[in-house]
Structure 1
Amino acid sequence: MDQELQGKARQLIARILHLRDSLDWAGKKTRATEIGELMAAAGFWDNQDRAQPLMDELRQLNASLKPINELIAGSDDLEAMLELAAEDDSGEAEQEIAAALPDLETKFAAVELQAMLAQPEDSLSAYLYVQAGEGGTDASDWAQMLLRMYERWAEERGFQTELLDISPAEEAGIRNASIAIRGPYVFGLLKGETGVHRLIRISPFDGAGRRQTSFAAVDVVPEFDDNFTIDIDWSQDVREDVARAGGAGGQHVNKTESAVQLTHLATGLSVRCQNERSQHKNRATARKMLTAKLYQMERDRRDAEKAAKRGQKSKIGFGGETVRNYVLHPDSYVKDNRSGLKTSQPQAMLDGKIDPFLEAYLRWSLDQPAE
């Protein structure tokens, strides 16, 4: 058998086994079995307050175990092929190994990416906010382009999206928008998108055809379940404003003040929700959004303090430094300012093909000095 191919296969098997152990595969399997036994016991469903958290935990465990199980099964198959190849003079087993390696390497990369999402909130869904910055109409158009990019990304991954609030700009595009993207590990995958995104192009709104630089800010925070709380007095610490919902939505939005905006007085953080016809539902969603923002702000503050002690820059926040440049003229490329990843296909990126940049950020963040 070809020694180079054999060495490559053996190395991949060893990496899979190491990754399996680092992800505590055995412990997760044991815990899933324990929950399954609890669910099978008499009276389990009589206590919904106890049953639901266990169901949620089992769902997350199964989502985590499925790709690892597939990877381990592929590793076992590869091991069997190697044993056959040692006794096979026809070369067929060797061909099977060569054909199986690329697919198994792809699966390994996917599970390895999941391993990078180690923070508890990484597995959650997310709220994503886009806000137009400097650049006038071009900036508003750019904000809408970014919103579409993330919606296309979510669609291709099979995630659910919900438009929570949108404020159209006067001429074109949007001033700001808020969406929820729901699926496993959405926050972990998208958290590196927080920051300022810069677009350089020939302005479609400039009759002279001049080059324009536009800015839009993105913020991503985790969506917690209804049981998650923080220390906040909603009657004293938060100002609530209600208004008629704007934008498309039929005659109803012109008749009822269903949109709810909450402002945290101490920090100035503000969220708005208008997607539901019920003011009560919009208020409940807005509270979840504000809770998530306050939680993320506290995490960012602690991260900034740690970074300052190390003499480093803190995490780039909403409206902070530029994290990525999208250049459509005179050159054509997208470059991330942190990971250094660059692509010469910006249109594919704007059509939602952003996974290479998401992964590059996660790998870059792992290389940053620890606390």
Structure 2
Amino acid sequence: MRADVEAASADIEQSVGLLRRRLDWDPALRRLDELNARSEDPTLWDKPAEAQALMRERTRLANQVEAVQALERERSDTLEFAELAEMEGDQDSLEEAARTLKALKERAGRAELEALLSGEADGNDAYVEINSGAGGTESADWALMLMRMYSRWANAHSMTVEVLEETPGETAGIKSATLQVKGVNAYGWLKTEGGVHRLVRISPFDSNARRHTSFASVWVYPVVDDTIVIEINPSDVRTDTYRASGAGGQHINKTDSAVRLTHLPTGIAVACQTERSQHQNRENAWKMLRARLYEAELQRREAAQQALEDQKTDIGWGHQIRSYVLQPYQLVKDLRTDVETSDTQGVLDGDLDPFMAASLSQRVGVTGETAEG
């Protein structure tokens, strides 16, 4: 047991050292002191945009510094507790210390990944757009399963989910849906999920119980605030209104309150139907369109991901990022990182962290660990 304690402690110490180097510790502390001092300046909010940017930087840096300090403090306290337990021959307390350090090690690992979320919009909330693809009713049902999967993931990480648009399938499932996921680093984590997801299973809609392959696409883009200026020429945007409907085709109201905006130069389209008022839906749709165009600009600058239309031209073979096989065997495999697991139900219930971590690490040139089946 003592060996377990020492091994976990060494791993945590290594993670802390890595986090300090990534933060550039001493300059980071000096910068935090500077930001704290500027935040107390009574004239700060004379320029709201600059003030908001400063406060976001301060919050992000303070959270990162506190995370490192908390790991160091809790590791030291637990080691002292373990040493005392060993001196007194208290095996139960020694086992408790080992469990505490194991949990701390997991936190340290996640903190390492969080430190990689340094992109311009990584800390923002996220829009998640899901569209069913090749496969008819099968794919519509698969799209609904993905919607549930991401909602479960978000809830497990203390994030909230709001459904902004949902178009039901003709028989079952959904043709499309747009979620807004609100939480710290929502976009930073979820951006790794963009692409086509493939499902292989025995169809619940096939009376002959044959195996079917279904596809659905996921697109993720950041929620942008008013400090990010995205110029849109109103004449470049087509507005369509229609009656909002929910799952099962039930009308939310009897008026054309739902709004769809299409940016004609790029073909980017967004829709919102959650509010009863067309005015409110229109306002939300414009926010979504600004976010989509901002994400497109990030894509061009980073040149690290395919452009939106490239991923959405064909939701089917050749565009997949992940395969979910439920029959004739159980396996979820990410085709970008080779991370795989046989716990298919766990993944569909929202256990996506190993896949996100590996993809995020790959993006910054760090080798990620694979999940074990």
TM-score scaled by structure 2? Answer: 0.83
Cα distance change, pair 2–346 in 1 and its aligned pair in 2 (3 A): closer
Partner of 1:247: 246
**1:44 shift after superposition:** 5.4
Q: Which residue does the alignment assign to 2:140?
A: 140
Quote the Cα distance in structure 2 between the aligned partners of 1:26 and 1:65.
11
Moved more, 137-146 or 108-117: 108-117
Taking structure 1 as reference, are residues 340 and 50 closer, same or farther at Cα in structure 2, changes over 3 Å only?
A: closer
Measured in 2, the distance between the counterparts of 1:251 and 1:338 equals: 41
Give a deviation string over 1:313-358, Cα, whole Å, max 9, x none.
9998444711111111111111111111111111111111111211
- State the secondary structure of the residue aligned to 1:253: coil
The answer for the alignment partner of 1:352 in structure 2 is 350
Q: Distance in 2 between matches of 1:360 and 1:139?
A: 26
Q: Give the residue type in structure 2 aligned to 1:296.
A: E
How far the C-alpha of 1:91 sits from its partner, in A, is: 6.5
Contact 2:11–2:105 (8 Å) recurs in 1: no
Using structure 1 for the length normalisation, give the TM-score: 0.84
SS at match of 2:235: coil
Match of 1:120 in 2: 120
What is the match of residue 282 of structure 1? 281
- Cα separation, 2, equivalents of 1:142 and 1:317: 18
The answer (yes or no) to whether the contact 1:9–1:78 under 8 Å persists in 2 is: no
* Residue 175 to residue 7, structure 1, CA distance change in 2 (3 Å): closer
Q: Offset of 1:243 from its aligned partner?
A: 2.3
1:255-284: CA deviation from partner (whole Å, max 9, x where unpaired): 3x3222111111111111111223333222
List per-residue Cα deviations over 1:70-104 (Å, max 9, x = no partner). Answer: 1121344367679x68xx86667994864553133
Corresponding residue for residue 371 of structure 2: none
Is 2:64–2:115's contact at 8 Å kept on the other side of the alignment?
A: no
* 1:273 aligned partner, one-letter code: C
**Is residue 2:97 matched to residue 1:111?**
no
| Larger mean Cα displacement after TM superposition, 172-181 or 359-368 | 359-368
Instruction: Say yes or no: does 1:149 pair with 2:149.
Output: yes
Distance in 1 of aligned mates of 2:99 and 2:131: 47
Distance verdict in 2 for CA 1:348–1:10, change over 3 Å: closer
Structure 2 partner of 1:362: 360
| Percent of aligned pairs sharing the same letter | 40
The structure 2 residue matched to 1:338, chosen from 333, 336, 339, is: 336
Quick check: 2:325–2:331 contact (8 Å CA) kept in 1?
yes
Deviation at 1:62, TM superposition (A): 3.6
Return the alpha-carbon distance in structure 2 between the equivalents of residues 45 and 293 of structure 1. 29
The offset of 1:48, in angstroms, is 5.0
Aligned to 1:224: 224
**TM-fit CA distance, 1:224:** 1.0
Aligned-partner residue type, residue 115 of structure 2: A
> C-alpha distance in 2, partners of 1:198/1:214?
6
1:103-134 Cα distance to aligned partner (Å, 9 max, x none): 33112101111012121211111100000000
Residue 310 of structure 1 corresponds to none
CA distance in 2 between partners of 1:246 and 1:240 (Å): 18
1:8/1:202 Cα in 2 relative to 1: closer, same or farther (>3 Å)?
Answer: closer
Opposite residue 236 of structure 1, the aligned amino acid is S
Match of 2:227, SS state, is coil
**1:74–1:214 CA distance, 2 compared to 1 (3 A):** same
Alignment check: 8 A CA contact 2:149 2:348 kept = yes
Count matched residues. Answer: 358
Match of 2:370 in 1: none
The one-letter code of the counterpart of 2:358 is A
| Equivalent residue number for residue 267 of structure 2 | 268
The AA in structure 2 aligned to 1:276 is E
Match of 2:236 in 1: 237
Residue 297 (str. 1) matches residue 296 (str. 2): yes
Q: 1:273 touches 1:285 (CA, 8 Å); kept in 2?
A: yes
Distance 1:50 1:122 in 2: 19
**SS of 2:164 mapped into structure 1:** strand
How far apart, CA to CA, are the structure 2 residues paired with 1:245 and 1:266? 26
Secondary structure class of the residue paired with 1:334: strand
- Which residue of 1 is the match for residue 17 of structure 2? 17
Q: 1:152 to 1:208 in 2, by over 3 A?
A: same
More deviation in 292-301 or 172-181?
292-301
Amino acid at match of 2:348: L
Change (3 A) 1:28 1:161: farther
**CA 1:51 to 1:231, structure 2 compared with 1: closer, same or farther past 3 Å?**
closer
Deviation by residue 1:209-255 (Cα, 9 ceiling, x = unmatched)? 1111100000001111122122321x222112222322279876213
